[in-house]
Structures are given as C-alpha cells and as structure tokens.
Amino acid sequence: MSIAKKNHADYSDFNEFTSRDDTFDMLLMSYESLCEGQRDWVCNLSNAASLLWHAYKSLNVEVNWAGFYIVRDCKPTELLLGPFQGKVACQSIPFGQGVCGAAAETQMTQVVSDVGKFSGHIACDGDTKSEIVVPIISEDGKTTGVIDLDCGDFNGFGESDKIYLERLAQLITKTCDFN
C-alpha cells in the first residue's frame, strides 16, 4: 500500500503514532511509497535506514544504530557495511561471525537481549546493550544482506520487532535490485 506525503522529509515524522504496531505499519507503507519507480538498493536502503531510525526514536527506544550490511557478488560469504544511521561501524563481517554473521549464515533472525551474553558479539559501539539482526533473503534463497539495529538499553527488541522487521526484509527483496 502506498501513501503520499507533501515533502520527502515528512515520511520521517512518526510522532502521531504511539504504538509499535501503528508505527511499523506506517514505516512499511512509507518504505513502499518511497520505492515507487526506484529499485536501486543504495537509494532504497538509505531511506529505509532513516525510516527505522526515526520510527524507533519516536517510540522512545534508545536505538543507537540502524542500518544494513550487504553481500556483494565478489565476496559471497562476507557482509559489507551498507546504508545506516548512527555512529561509524565496522566495515566487513564474515558469515558466521558476530550477531550479523550468525543471522547471515543461519538465515534466522537473532534477537539478543544482552549482547554481553552473545558469544562472539562484535562491539562496534561499547554503549550497545541489545541488538536485533534480520536476514534479507533473495527469492532464490541466498542471503543478500541483513537489517541490524542496536539499542543502548537491555531488552531493546522483542517479538513484534522481529515480525515487522522480517516483513521489511521481505519488502526489500521485492523492491531492490542488488549488485
């Protein structure tokens, strides 16, 4: 479903929504609207990172990083830093390493309530306490990237985040051409 806003920046305004469900419904609709006529992954994931950042901020979740790691054809078992909002982060992560690498390798969403208890967690920012990583899977079953969100509080993410972010990952597969 698509929605029209007056200016592009208006899509970043989630202040009228108070519940996670309403906020995420709007995020998914906004993402789809912004992708109309545009299939380039850099362009679409840049706006998606901004939507995620502003949506979580509006819910008062202490998100300190929101973005993407992407698989490039030349290195099919490595995640490379993609569009994001937040502080500078590590550039590449091999499949199987860290929370991102675990999601990429297993193709399973990783919800980590305390990163200190996740063996092999890669601490890009020492302030991060919890994290969620959702794999983006192509129509032919390959990992094309991950959605990564970090939070400055423990237990930042739960089941509803997993459900909505997995829907976002499916939309990304449907709307973006990679490589």
The footprint of ligand SME (CB under 6 A) covers: 65, 89-90, 93, 98-101, 121-122, 124, 131, 148, 150
Which residue number is nearest to ligand SME in terms of Cβ?
Answer: 98
Of 173, 17, 80, 77, the closest CA to residue 67 belongs to: 80
SS3 66: strand
Quote the CA–CA distance of 38 and 44 in Å, as a whole number.
7
CB of 145 to ligand SME, least distance (A): 12
Which residues lie closer than 8 Å to 121 by C-beta, 6 or more apart?
98, 99, 112, 115, 131
Nearer to ligand SME, 26 or 149 (CB): 149
Nearer to ligand SME, 51 or 149 (CB): 149
Nearer to ligand SME, 131 or 161 (CB): 131
CB of 52 to ligand SME, least distance (A): 13
Nearer to ligand SME, 78 or 131 (CB): 131
Helix ranges (H only) for the chain are: 20-34, 41-58, 98-106, 159-175
